[in-house]
Chains A and B, each alone.
Chain A
Amino acid sequence: AQKVTQAQTEISVVEKEDVTLDCVYETRDTTYYLFWYKQPPSGELVFLIRRNSFDEQNEISGRYSWNFQKSTSSFNFTITASQVVDSAVYFCALSEEETSGSRLTFGEGTQLTVNP
């Protein structure tokens, strides 16, 4: 069965610090997709990134970067030079296209607080 674990329930940092959010997943499929979503205090989930299981290249988008390692079943998310606006709950999610349609299985989320 598919499962996503975000062991860090809450993280608090001071502005401009770098912060890494951990995500570990379990799946029996060979084809799967990993996602990160941001949920700010307003409540709406905002898509950040999608990665498929055959593409282990790390990705950087501005201050955001993602490290996908199949060997450890991890898909970690780093925010560089954090800002107060980054404060939100961040969810990692997994989709197994073959065995469970395209539904997303979410982790429990990491509450990130960036203090000025």
Chain B
Amino acid sequence: DTGVSQDPRHKITKRGQNVTFRCDPISEHNRLYWYRQTLGQGPEFLTYFQNEAQLEKSRLLSDRFSAERPKGSFSTLEIQRTEQGDSAMYLCASSLGQGTGNTNEQFFGPGTRLTVL
């Protein structure tokens, strides 16, 4: 069984460019989450999906951020017109949601480290 995978692992971009990250969750998991972690801080919630529906978005998710999970499997997170403040580790996690059991611990991927120059 493979865990959560993320691609790319590292991304360096220039300010103003667009970037897209991909997350592949654990195959039987119906919930998928995106978090952002900056140095010395705990992860902060960005958004989550149950199947293909985006159920919640944090106020941290500005208009420049968009996430999709078109077929309820993998997800993409796009950041448009990147800013230096977007530099962070972007973490994806997946879990089994309500109705599929009593476990809702989230399993995390290795993250995508974004550096905006």
Contacts and interface: CB of A to CB of B under 8 A. Distances in A.
The answer on A and B forming one complex is yes
Contact of A35 (B48, B98, B105): B105
B104 A105 contact: no
Query: Which label, helix, strand, loop or mixed, suits the secondary structure of the A interface?
Result: strand
Contacts of B43: 45, 91, 104, 106
Contacts of A100: 56
Interface residues of B, number: 28
A47 B58 CA distance: 23
B72 interface: no
B107 A108 contact: no
B65 interface: no
Given A50-B103, A100-B56, A45 B108 contact: yes
Interface in B42-94: 42-45, 48, 55-56, 58, 89, 91, 93
A105 B43 CA distance: 8
Interface of B: 31, 33, 35, 40-45, 48, 55-56, 58, 89, 91, 93, 95, 97-98, 103-111
Interface of A: 4, 33, 35, 37, 42-47, 50, 91, 93, 95, 97, 100-109
